[in-house]
Amino acid sequence: MAATQAEADIHLEGVTKRFADMKAVDDLTLSIPRGNFFAMLGPSGCGKTTTLRMIGGFENPTEGRVFLGGADVTEAPPYKRDVNTVFQSYALFPHLTVEKNVAFGLERKKVSKDEVRKRVGDALELVQLAHLSKRKPGQLSGGQAQRVALARALVNRPRALLLDEPLGALDLRLRKQLQIELKRIQQDIGITFVHVTHDQEEAMTMADEIAVMNVGKIEQAGSATDLYERPKTAFVANFLGISNLVDAQVRAVNNGHTRLETHDGADLNVPTERCGPHGTHEVRVGVRPEKIRLFPEGDAVPDGSNILRGKVVVAAFLGVSIQYIIRTAGGEELNVFTQNTEGAEPDSLGVGRDVQLAWSPEHTFVVDRD
């Protein structure tokens, strides 16, 4: 549940940012509670980095206010805000050792030498780099350099840490490793993390709450489970994972279920509380690929299932799973993932086979056609 303004560690109120005639962020109101790992997820140009920069003080909003811990900091410069930022570029000083890089901000604040030594040591222990304290950045791997940048940002004990695609320059294996490390660190220290990313898996792995952004606005915010299982728009459904969407018309509501009819005449049912306020107009019915079971045409299907019929056009063996693409009678191409539990070959339901796609109504969601 979103924090109220009074409870929020970070609060944006009606924030808009224009660059000439382009509106990068559009009337955004957002509250992030203390200790939350919050991700802003979206494609390039959606406004997520601009929003982060306004929280950090690197951009001023054209309209609206920015609050940190209840204090209005809209006009405050970055150095007067109790936040630190970690960028994709590590921005380490190449001539300084790891410990000197981490200590840099403390020394500028004239913290005592004993306190600097203790806090630098604690920060390096937190990111598991105490053993490399005497090395210089040129002697570090990319992952180690990013941990140093993280330690330098945390050593000042900020109210919040802002992360601007910090793992984007790393290879896939290392990125996945550091995703878990970042989550561990955030849980250990308990401060607010605000993470900007275009990587859906990264956001889902780490964040307590995700805001999916599109053209300067938040399309939907919630937990990874909420967004994945109950997307409210086609954009969210397609950006966060793979979705199968089929055009349909709402036909009837009865006993907590809504009946929908696809344009090729198939009836589908969905719990009414999963439909949202769509009335009786044209909608799109959605189901995730892994929720669907495939049955050869003519085989019995579990009672109560939603059923579409189609033909297999692709069957690809992926190791842990088999991906099928099914062209339905209505012409849509739907994805189906089945687990490789029996060492099955994809040609057991091979290309050209007529099949039934069956899934539970409780795994169905509905979004507006537009």
Burial of 318 from C-beta contacts in 10 A (0-12 / 13-18 / 19+): exposed
How far is the CA of 237 from the CAs of 117, 178, 223, in angstroms?
Answer: 49, 26, 14
CB distance 280 to 366 below 8 Å: no
pLDDT at 130: 92
Q: How far apart are CA 4 and CA 37, in angstroms?
A: 17
The reported pTM is: 0.87
Read off the pLDDT of residues 286-327 as tens digits, 9 standing for 90 and up: 999 999 999 999 899 999 999 999 999 999 888 888 899 999
Q: Strand, helix or coil at 203?
A: helix
How far is the CA of 3 from the CAs of 8, 187, 221, 241, 303, in angstroms?
Answer: 5, 19, 12, 27, 42
Read off the pLDDT of residues 329-364 as tens digits, 9 standing for 90 and up: 888 999 999 987 765 554 557 888 999 999 999 999
pLDDT at 343: 58
**Token pair recorded at residue 342:** 């029996």
Edge-first strand order for the sheet with 321-328 is 293-296, 354-359, 306-317, 321-328, 333-339
DSSP classification of residue 80: G
Q: How far apart are CA 23 and CA 198, in angstroms?
A: 20
Helices (H) and strands (E) in the chain, counts: 8, 20
State whether the Cα torsion 234-235-237-243 is positive or negative: positive
Phi, psi of 330 (to 5 degrees): -85, -5
The gap from C-alpha 52 to its chain's centroid, in whole angstroms, comes to 15
pLDDT at 254: 85
Q: Strand, helix or coil at 364?
A: coil
How far is the CA of 263 from the CAs of 10, 62, 183, 356, in angstroms?
Answer: 46, 46, 45, 17
Amino acid 7 reads E
Q: Residue-wise pLDDT tens for the chain (370 aa)?
A: 455 555 689 999 999 999 998 999 999 999 999 999 999 999 999 999 999 999 999 999 999 999 999 999 999 999 899 999 988 777 889 999 999 999 987 866 777 888 889 999 999 999 889 999 999 999 998 888 888 988 999 988 899 999 998 887 778 888 888 888 889 889 989 999 999 999 999 999 999 999 999 999 999 999 999 999 999 999 999 999 899 999 999 888 888 889 999 988 899 999 988 876 655 578 999 999 999 999 999 899 999 999 999 999 999 888 888 899 999 988 899 999 998 776 555 455 788 899 999 999 999 999 987 6
β-pairing, 306-317 with 354-359? antiparallel
Amino acid 303 reads D
* Residue indicated by tokens 């929020």: 8
**Token pair recorded at residue 80:** 């007067």
The alpha helices in 163-262, defined as continuous H runs, are: 172-189, 200-206, 224-229, 234-239
Reported as half-sphere exposure (CB side, CA atoms, 13 A), residue 11 has a value of 16
CB distance 5 to 11 below 8 Å: yes
Amino acid 172 reads L
pLDDT at 369: 79
Contacts of 105 by beta carbon, 8 Å cutoff, 6+ apart: 152, 155, 156
Q: How far apart are CA 310 and CA 328, in angstroms?
A: 4
Helix (H) or strand (E) holding 352: none
Q: In angstroms, how far is the first alpha carbon of the chain from the final one? A: 27
Helix (H) or strand (E) holding 4: none
Q: Strand, helix or coil at 281?
A: coil
Contacts of 332 by beta carbon, 8 Å cutoff, 6+ apart: 244, 245, 246
Q: How far apart are CA 104 and CA 120, in angstroms?
A: 10
Amino acid 226 reads D
Q: Strand, helix or coil at 186?
A: helix
Q: How far apart are CA 98 and CA 103, in angstroms?
A: 9
